[in-house]
């Protein structure tokens, strides 16, 4: 009868992995803030174009109703 294969993970290995991940992720907040700024700019453009399109639609419908 064979014994089942086991894995032993020590607290030191977990600590080393966490430290390594912290180093990898340490510069991501800058990227996240930059990404948020780009999303805000895109939202501003979308809302601006939507507002302009709404005004044009209202004016066009008014002009068409006056011609009919």
Per-residue model confidence as pLDDT tens digits over 14-47: 999 999 999 888 767 667 778 888 899 999 999 9
Domain enclosing residue 36, as ranges: 20-50
As for how many domains the chain has, the answer is: 1
pLDDT category at 1 given cuts 50, 70, 90 is low
Q: What percent of the chain has pLDDT over 90?
A: 59
Residue 38 is assigned to a structural domain of this protein: yes
Q: What pTM did the predictor assign?
A: 0.48
Residue 4 is assigned to a structural domain of this protein: no
Residue 6 is assigned to a structural domain of this protein: no
Q: Which residues of 32-49 are buried (b: 16+ CB within 10 A; e: fewer)?
A: eeeeeeeeeeeeeeeeee
Residue 30 is assigned to a structural domain of this protein: yes
């Amino acid at each position: 009868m064979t014994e089942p294969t086991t894995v032993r993970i020590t607290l030191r290995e977990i600590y080393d992995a966490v430290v390594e991940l912290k180093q990898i992720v340490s510069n991501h907040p800058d990227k996240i803030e930059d990404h948020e700024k780009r999303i805000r700019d895109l939202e501003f453009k979308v809302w601006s174009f939507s507002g302009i399109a709404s005004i044009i639609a209202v004016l066009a419908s008014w002009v068409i109703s006056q011609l009919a």
